[in-house]
Amino acid sequence: MDVYYPAENATEPRPAVILTFGGAFHRGSPRLTFQSGGAQDTSMGNYCRRFAARGYTCFAIDYRLTTERPVLSGEGYQEDWIDPESLLPLLPQANYIRGTMNLPPIDFAIPDQKKTMVDGVVAAAEDLRTAVLHIRKAAGTYQIDPNRIVLGGFSAGAVTSWNVAYGMGVPVAGVFLLSGTDAGFDVKKTVTSTSVTPPTLMFMGQYDLPGALSSVPELIQHYEKVGVDYEFAWVPGFGHFYPAGAASLGGDAVSVSIEGRIAAFLDRSFADDR
């Protein structure tokens, strides 16, 4: 992982942000940006630079990809928490990316191929969980407060952040999702009215991927049913890829840049005594 520190010396442990990149669980890296339809997104490394400039220590992690045929450890969750069918909304984009990589599409009707997709998604969550536990254990080395950690990510990285905080139940102060949702773990089993859940900030492009546009409303309905603290914002005029400086519209109809809205969310999450 890459670690980004504020320029000034720390006088006390800082809050930390851990970011996970996207790429349909098949490609990507912390420093890679994507372009589509004339729009370019902001890499997790670039976001880290921005957050470090705001006084946070930021970590941009790496994780195993589906193409690496990862072997799961099974640590941090129960097998019956995993919901393979929840990955179906992700499948069209994954198969599109596989096509660009000259790989055959994944067919969920074939058990071995379904397992390939499940293993890729869960392996990413295992790796982010490992990073969170390491950073918390080495908090003194990184000069961070282990009780003030927020997870965030884009697309597959957002899904992975959700899976660690809500699917595996790793305690964090907050989670923000850039065009991501729940996929991989059964939300009805892992997020209940008795669960201890962090607040969530969710972004979605106006013309985002169909799978994201269909699954996020269902997640919001479940959040409202069980009482999860959430905030949702549209990114008007953009699809799945958008830069940190793009305008976002929340429920109050106020236009704030994506970076600015995340910064406000971080301030609230780190000030909270959850």
CATH of residue 24's domain is: 3.40.50.1820
C-alpha 199/C-alpha 176 separation (Å) is 8
CA 250 vs CA 14, 122, 208, 216, 237: distances in Å = 28, 31, 16, 15, 15
Task: Quote the number of domains for the chain.
Answer: 1
1, 113, 14, 85: which is closest to 56 by C-alpha? Answer: 14
- Phi first, then psi: what are they for 210, rounded to 5°? -55, -40
Number of H helices, E strands in the chain: 8, 13
Cβ count within 10 A of residue 166:
23
- Residue 139 structural domain: 2-271
**Gap between the Cα atoms of 100 and 24, Å rounded:** 12
Q: Residue 34 has what pLDDT?
A: 79
Encoding tokens for residue 272? 């909270």
CB 132 within 8 A of CB 124: no
Per-residue model confidence (pLDDT) at position 272: 60
* Among candidate residues 143, 124, 22, 30, the one with its CA nearest the CA of residue 77: 124
pTM of the model: 0.95
Tokens (6 digits) for 107: 């067919």
Three-state SS string over 165-220 comes to: HHHCCCCCCEEEEECCCCCEECHHHHCCCCCCCCCEEEEEECCCCHHHHHHHHHHH
The reported pLDDT for the residue numbered 273 is: 47
Successive 10-residue mean pLDDT values, the chain, 274 residues: 92 96 94 79 96 97 96 95 95 95 96 96 98 97 96 97 97 97 95 93 95 92 95 95 96 93 96 60
On whether the CB atoms of residues 29 and 21 are closer than 8 A, the answer is yes
